Amino acid sequence: MSCEDCTKAATQVWHGFTMGCQGCCARATARGPNFHRVRTTGSQDRPYRAQLQQFGLTHEQVKAAALNDFTMNGKAEQCSQ
pTM for this one?
0.85
How far apart are the C-alpha atoms of 34 and 46, rounded to whole Å?
Answer: 10
Buried b (16+ CB within 10 A) or exposed e, 31-43: beebbeebbeeee
Which regions of the chain does DSSP assign to beta strands (E)?
none
Q: pLDDT grade, residue 73 (50/70/90)?
A: confident
- Dump pLDDT digits (tens) for 4-61: 999 999 999 999 999 999 999 999 999 999 999 999 999 999 999 999 999 999 999 9
The full set of domain ranges for the chain reads 4-74
Rounded to a whole number of angstroms, the CA Rg of the chain reads 12
Rounded Cα distance, 67 and 74, in Å? 4
Q: Which of 33, 41, 25 shows the shortest CA–CA distance to 80?
A: 41
